[in-house]
Structure 1
Amino acid sequence: MFKKLILSVFAIFALAIMVRAQQRPNILIIVSDDHAYQSIGAYGSPYHGTPNIDKLASQGATYTNAFVTNSLCGPSRACLLTSKYSNINGFKDNFSRFDPSQPTFASYLTKAGYQTAWIGKWHLESLPQHFSYFKILPGQGYYYNPDFIDMHNDTARIPGYCTDVITNITLNWLKDRDTSKPFCLVVGEKATHRSWIPDTADFGAFDSVVFKQPTDLFDDYKNRYAGKVNNMNIANTMRLGYDLKMEADTGFGNDNYVRFTPSQQKYFDKYYDSVYTDFKPRHLTGKALTDWKYQRFMHDYYATALDLDRNVGRIVDFIDKNGLGKNTIVIYTSDQGLYLGEHGWFDKRYMYEESFKTPFIVRYPKLIKPNTRDSTMVMLLDVAPTFMQLAGLSVPKDMQGKSLIPVFKGDGKNFRNEVFYHYYEYPNEHNALPHFGIRTERYVLIRYYKPDQAWKDKLVNKGSLIIDTYNPKDYWELYDLKTDPNEVNNIYEANKNSSLVKGLKEDLNDLIKKYKQTDAAKILKDQPVN
């Protein structure tokens, strides 16, 4: 009798654990690369390139003021994992290496009984730790027939188009997981990173579209030194070969070209040779050439996003068809935004809206009503604390973000009144100057600065770069988003002694202290600029 009682107690206890596990929500976050929010239908794009992402948005919430802490692929992912700014998690730039042994949301969730996985692009110069499973691209990875590193540190090439392959691995993991446990799954996409190579099925998908030029495609960068000296503009920096695949077998890059199967190469050559045949006899120059490059860039970029969108649909459909939709939070986001010709650019890095902001779409039926559109200021910094609270765990005190649960419930009115940003990488291919700053609902205040002497050593070590082309300097920029949403009119000089600037600088200093930005504090002290 006593033995039966003990067995019954154990059975009840085991059942209680299983019920609790089933009550805790599953977590799915899809993190694309360089996916500009302005290219997504839910954010206003008129080109019908993201039907599945738009459908997800209609089922949940679209956050129109979602920000990153550092608009660069690796640093943004490190922040997502740790809920700590780059100066704290140690991954400031693409010269860095992420320490995977430090606490992340994965370390806490795995310990709490979640099955955790990271599949796809990682790009943190290390191998994941704390995850139950991972299968990642080495470095940036390749669009065609990509290599993957598994948990045994073995590397193998998998045939197919990268976005499709990532989804296949993802669905297999979901099918084979331990269904008695909740899961936390991160799907890291390579798309839509440079150099924007579509799947063969999507070659030419947008060639009939004439994309509307941004009003500042031919920006003159008046009163904006950083804009003048950078090297990321479509007119002068975007390469006809590497970026736009003209003369593909030479200019496009041998490391990409040799990965094609004969069939893939046939499709690739047929399409891009026809584009080149049309382009070459035109002998375009000046603004006409810039406009042609802009259109080609957009055609390839949107076509690359098509397969990304299809695969978002494949993953979400699996969740729904397997009865997981009601108890799974689904997040679609990107590691940052991207300039699609705004300011004449095609990269990211800067604190201006198009790369500082990122898409952030969340479906969670338990808390979020369909077709919600929310302008609350949120950050990728907030993802890890949110996962902690969803799992019924306490948010660690050293996480610098805030749980988004109140925002999901519609209580985000005073969630955040300003955001802080810090971009470090210098030197870099694009000569984007290091800077930090504050953005409020209406104003953006940015401080550009000279990095410490270590940047010269990095520059020399890169070999191919010429020191004389790099001339960082200290100065401020100020923008009024209400009157100047495109951020082309730097009004700092006219307002530098105003109460507005004084107040913004006080708020900036408060955020510097809050986020333990000792390097930014030192710059303000040692390199004062009126």
Structure 2
Amino acid sequence: MTRNLDFICMYKVPYFWDRFNISHMKTNPIRLLPGFVLSVLLCQTWEMGYTRQFPARPPNIIFIMADDHAYQAISAYGSTLIKTPNIDRIAREGALMSNGFVTNSVCSPSRAVILTGKYSHINGLRDNGTYFNGAQQTLPKILKENGYRTAIVGKWHLWSEPTGFDYWNILPAQGHYYNPPFIKMGKDTCYKGYVTDIITDLALQWIDSNRGQPFFLMLHHKAPHRNCMPPLKYLHQFDEVKFPLPATFNDSYKNRPALQRQQISVAHDLDLRYDTKIPCDTCAVTTINSWAPAEWQREIERLTPAERRQWDSAYALEYEQFKNIHDPAALVKFQFQRYLEDYLRCVLSVDDNVGRVLQYLDEHGLSENTIVIYTSDQGFYLGEHGLYDKRFMYNESFRSPMVVRYPAKIRPKQQVSQFTLNLDIAPTLLDYAGIAIPADMQGASMRPLLEKGKTPNWRNEIYYHYYELSFGLTRHYGIYTGRYKLIHFYDPIDAWELYDLKKDKLEINNLYNDPRYLKAVKALKERLRSLQKFYKDEVNW
């Protein structure tokens, strides 16, 4: 009853008054008067007889992050590939960030940005091979200093030991899908089961022991990261589905030399055993790399004998299909189909476990005053431009999903269209916790967007900088304005790309050398320079 009246007084009375106000008059005011009067009387009666239920303490925070979860594989974002009812529930009961992006689309750097609220060149972690300096200021340290219990469970992937956490139980490096080893507070341990379930089990056990005071939990899933090994219960999911190739799957890469040299294509760079799970050590296939045979062996040997029999039975069906393929083009389509099947099977398990967290909060009366964020460390290609993986500043990699629920403060069914970044997560959570945001954090609190739908002077352009050279990639930085995207690839090649997204949403036509866009290029370069100066990223063009 109290929560319902809180909703009426917070939202319905202002709504009726706004509609009744003569400056907004769109209907006969007499028709709205009964609703307005009833709402006012209810609120007056309530305020005399009830105490309004504002949160008695700072909010609990559960930050759930998957690894490589594309927005194209979340039904709240309009996916036709899969249904994700539990992730969708967070969006439905809170807010969906429809223009969320990352500053550097690769795993370790993204995690460092989230922890620090600072770009890669400031926090010191530019690529996946760099050691994170845990001595610096981080979100969990600040929360812990202000009375929060803090924990991280799951994928860490920052090479150094976690700091700022009362409890940590993390996967070593990339971790494993089956019967995985963990490092619990510095000590090696191992758990039986599937990694996504285990991470959730450990997270809920920790909440159970710490919900007597405000808590901050980073719940980091390994899935659906390559090589996408599904839970055994979903081995046959999507067997009967034929996924269409994305519109840009056969992209020619014309006038884009950085794409021409990449090594993350479905057609040439997925491995037959590691990615497609075809048990074939002697197949005479020249179009598929024989990549990391030892890695594949280490993964499959983690299964128990009973699990291995179930696994072999399921993938024997895939092998039978493979043996009948003789056309190279058909083989590429087969690879794509297998890639999506296993990727989406892993996503189903992630969504199931998000549901377990939400159910736990409901059952223990924690939902109202707990912020739940679901996101990914970056976007991911599901065959767009013929690619898997991430890294490039093209939309599928650069754009990342983010949904946020906090019933005490955030109204349901919101869609935030402003440009948001993983850079903004730390400032936002500190703001909601009632803690001053450090001046050296480079992000901004999303709270005004989440509660009011807008805020003055919010960013209208985004700066991006990617540093890795692995997989044939090229270092690059760029600016995104909504209408235009300008990218400078600078190492080991030197090339510029410009996309007019109003005319070319799929990012196919590089217009950098088109004389009709000379003024646009000049203006964008000036704005790009300004962003680099603002974020203190000294780059030699």
Work out whether the TM-score is over 0.5. yes
Q: How much does 1:278 deviate?
A: 2.1
CA distance in 2, matches of 1:397, 1:495: 42
CA separation of 1:20 and 1:46: change in aligned 2, threshold 3 A: closer
Instruction: From 317, 327, 347, give the equivalent of 2:369.
Output: 327
CA contact (8 A) 2:511 2:517 kept: no
Counterpart of 2:465 in structure 1: which amino acid? H
**Residue matched to 2:138:** 104
Q: Distance in 1 between matches of 2:524 and 2:506?
A: 20
The CA distance in 2 between the partners of 1:156 and 1:48, in whole Å, is: 34
1:150 counterpart = 2:184: yes
Partner residue, 2:439: 397
Distance in 1 separating the partners of 2:533 and 2:516: 22
The partner residue of 1:440 within 478, 481, 485 is 481
* Residue 282 (structure 1) shift: 2.2
Q: CA deviation at 1:245?
A: 0.6
Q: Residue 338 of structure 1 is aligned with which of 380, 384, 389? A: 380
1:48 deviation in Å? Answer: 3.5
Q: Distance in 2 between matches of 1:96 and 1:140?
A: 14
Tell me which residue corresponds to 1:466. Answer: none
Pair 495,193 (structure 1): closer, same or farther in 2 beyond 3 Å = farther
**What TM-score, normalized by structure 2, do the two folds share?**
0.86
Separation in 2, partners of 1:223, 1:403: 39
Aligned to 1:240: 272
User: Would the alpha carbon gap of residues 131 and 476 (structure 1) be closer, same or farther in structure 2, given more than 3 Å must change?
Assistant: same
> Does residue 130 in structure 1 map to residue 137 in structure 2?
no
Query: 229, 245, 267: which one pairs with 2:310?
Result: 267
Query: How many residue pairs end up in the alignment?
Result: 477
**1:217-246 CA distances to partner (integer Å, 9 max, x unpaired)?**
111001111111101100111111111110
1:287-318 C-alpha deviation (Å, 9 max, x unpaired): 22111111111111111111111001101111
**Displacement of 1:413 after TM fit?**
6.5
SS at match of 1:436: strand
Match of 1:309 in 2: 351
Relative to structure 1, is the Cα distance of residues 246 and 498 closer, same or farther in structure 2, using a 3 angstrom cutoff? same
- Find the partner of 1:41 among 64, 75, 94: 75
Asked if 1:514 is matched to 2:531, the reply is no
168-177 or 270-279: bigger deviation: 270-279
Among candidates 216, 231, 253, match of residue 248 of structure 2: 216
Q: Which residue of 1 aligns with 2:194?
A: 161
Cα pair 1:495 1:501 within 8 Å, conserved: no
Please list, as runs of the form range in 1=range in 2, the aligned pairs for 1:103-502 lying within 5 A after superposition: 103-151=137-185, 153-177=186-210, 179=212, 181-247=213-279, 253-285=296-328, 287-409=329-451, 410-412=453-455, 414-426=457-469, 428=470, 430-450=471-491, 472-495=492-515, 498-502=518-522
The one-letter amino acid of 1:384's match is: A
In structure 1, the residue matched to 2:98 is: 64
Give, as a single letter, the amino acid of the residue that structure 2 aligns with 1:436: Y
**In the TM superposition, what is the alpha-carbon distance from 1:367 to its structure 2 partner?**
2.9
User: TM-score, normalized by length of structure 1?
Assistant: 0.88
| 1:214–1:84 Cα change, 3 Å | same
Identity %: 46
Structure 1: runs of 5 or more not aligned? 1-18, 451-471, 525-530
CA distance in 2, matches of 1:249, 1:163: 29
CA drift of 1:21 comes to 9.0
**Alpha carbon RMSD of aligned pairs, Å?**
1.6
Distance 2:204 2:87 in 1: 18
Mean alpha-carbon deviation: is it higher for 255-264 or for 411-420? 411-420
Match of 1:80 among 90, 111, 114: 114
Q: Deviations over 1:315-340 (max 9, x none)?
A: 11111211111111110000001000
Q: Give the direction of change, closer, same or farther, for the CA distance of 1:213–1:497 in structure 2 (3 Å limit).
A: closer
Contact 1:248/1:269 (<8 A) preserved: no
Work out which of the two has the higher radius of gyration on C-alpha atoms and give 1 or 2. Answer: 2
Change (3 A) 1:22 1:261: farther
Structure 2 regions of 5+ residues with no counterpart? Answer: 1-52, 283-292
How far apart are the structure 1 equivalents of 2:208 and 2:517? 62
Q: CA deviation at 1:85?
A: 0.7
Aligned to 1:6: none
Q: After superposition, what is the alpha-carbon deviation per residue over 1:345-403, rounded to whole angstroms, capped at 9, x for unaligned? A: 01100000001010000111233221112211000100001111111111101100001
Any conservation in 2 of the 1:148–1:157 contact (CA below 8 Å)?
A: yes
CA-CA distance at 1:22 after TM superposition: 4.2
Q: Is the 8 A contact 1:21 1:182 kept in 2?
A: no
